[in-house]
A and B are shown apart, each in its own frame.
Chain A
Amino acid sequence: MSNTPVILITGTRKGIGRYLVDHYIEAGYRVVGCSREPANIESDAYIHCITDVRDEAGVKAMLSTVRRDLGRLDILINNAGIASMNHSLLTTTDMAQRIFETNVIGTFVVCREAAKLMQRRRYGRIVNLVSVATPLKLEGEALYASSKAAVTSLTQIMARELSAYNITVNAVGPAPIHTDLIQSVPQEKLQQILDRQAIHRFGEFSDVANAVDFFIKPESEFITGQVIYLGGV
């Protein structure tokens, strides 16, 4: 087994996930990433799996590959997620199911399979991506905010269940960042969100990486079940 720590990041084709891949390759990690489609990431330190987190068999196969080929998993960042802006009266059941299958069930399955691998070495760091949409109770994001509320509960309870294995589970809730996730959100609506933050600006990918860095440090072994909302929400 190599001494190089291994980090698994979901949803790495673009946005925050893509940024985190470069960030952790540069920091010296072996990075495994996944997305539903191929990713244009060229690095000897990176392995890409075409995996939809909604596909349990695919997630299990990905973690089996990590176990077999790399022999360890130190860190998991659950970044994959989808959003859909719509009034609750206009949100279809199909969309509601897709949001929950990806954001909640997908996150849960990846957490579960990753923790099985981590517990063998009695060490692990899990960081789930949640959202300021939950504490801000954003209108038009009922299903998305609800799904992230579920991920927050998942984070806090798994933190307790996994603590005996020295696995910490925390969450980062980014403020709005210029990604595909918010591209359909009207500018006026985004400004209203920024106005409710303590720091009235958009988030940057580096802001997310900074918070994740804090949670995954070996020295953060006494920090679990916590949520950091960026921008002062």
Chain B
Amino acid sequence: MSANPKVIELIYDSIDEHNEIANTSKILAKSLDTVLFGRDGNLDSLGLVSLIVAVEERVKDEFGADISVADDRAMSQTQSPFRTVGTLADYVSELVKEAGYV
């Protein structure tokens, strides 16, 4: 599926927030191809948690949707939603759509 442009934008805003406090070596590029977590990932588990929290907050502000990005369903996906910015954007777009906010 193609990600909701608003979702991509709010993930990029969350990346900006991450980059403000990240070490130079952990700066994330605002691209759908940026690898977030797993092999060659740019985030450690703590960084991933912070990014997810930031995304959830922005989804609530933008759409009014109270979503949980890291639940059992996310963990059981064939392709991890946390692999790249693109997979995260796809998954969050799906959650927002299911919640009836698009």
A164 in contact with B46 (CB, 8 Å): yes
Interface size on B, residues (CB 8 A): 9
Q: Is B60 close to A, CB under 8 A?
A: yes
A64–B50 CA distance with the chains assembled, in angstroms: 17
Assuming the contacts A64-B60, A164-B46, asked whether A116 and B53 have C-beta atoms less than 8 A apart, the reply is: yes
Docked-complex contact A116 and B57, CB < 8 angstroms: yes
Q: What 1/0 mask marks residues of chain A from 119 to 148 whose CB sits below 8 Å from any chain B CB?
A: 110100000000000000000000000000
Given the complex, which residues of B lie within 8 Å of A165, measured CB to CB?
46, 50
Q: How far is the CA of A67 from the CA of B46 in the complex (A)?
A: 22
B33 at the interface (CB under 8 A from A): no
Q: Decide if B60 touches A119 in the complex (CB within 8 Å).
A: no
| A23 interfacial contact with B, CB 8 Å | no
Asked whether, in the complex, the Cβ of B60 is within 8 Å of the Cβ of A122, the reply is no
Q: Is the Cβ of A122 less than 8 Å from the Cβ of B66? A: no
| Bound: A120/B53 CA distance, A | 9
Please indicate the chain A residues that have their CB under 8 angstroms from the CB of B46 in the complex.
164-165
Query: In the complex, A64 Cα to B21 Cα: how many Å?
Result: 22
**1/0 contact string of B59-79 vs chain A (CB within 8 Å):** 010000010000000000000
Given the complex of chains A and B, what is the CA–CA distance between A57 and B46 in angstroms?
A: 25
Residue total for A at the interface (Cβ-Cβ under 8 A): 10
A60 at the interface (CB under 8 A from B): yes
Q: Is the CB of B53 within 8 A of A122?
A: no
Per the bound structure, the CA–CA distance linking A64 and B60 in Å amounts to: 10
Contact A119 B66 (CB under 8 A): no
* A47–B66 alpha-carbon span in the complex (Å): 24
Contact with A along B22-66 (1 / 0, CB 8 A): 000000000000000000000000100010011001001000001
Chain A residues with Cβ under 8 A from B54's Cβ? 120
Known: A60-B66, A164-B46. A122 touches B57 (CB 8 A): no
> Which residues does chain B contribute within 8 Å of A60, judged by CB atoms?
66
- Rounded to whole angstroms, the CA-CA distance of A164 and B48 in the bound complex is 13
Q: List 5 A-B contacts (CB under 8 A).
A: A116-B57, A119-B50, A119-B53, A120-B54, A165-B46
7 smallest CB-CB distances across A and B, nearest first, come from A116-B53, A164-B46, A119-B50, A122-B21, A60-B66, A119-B53, A116-B57
Known contacts A60-B66, A165-B50; 10 additional CB pairs below 8 A are: A57-B66, A67-B57, A116-B53, A116-B57, A119-B50, A119-B53, A120-B17, A120-B54, A164-B46, A165-B46
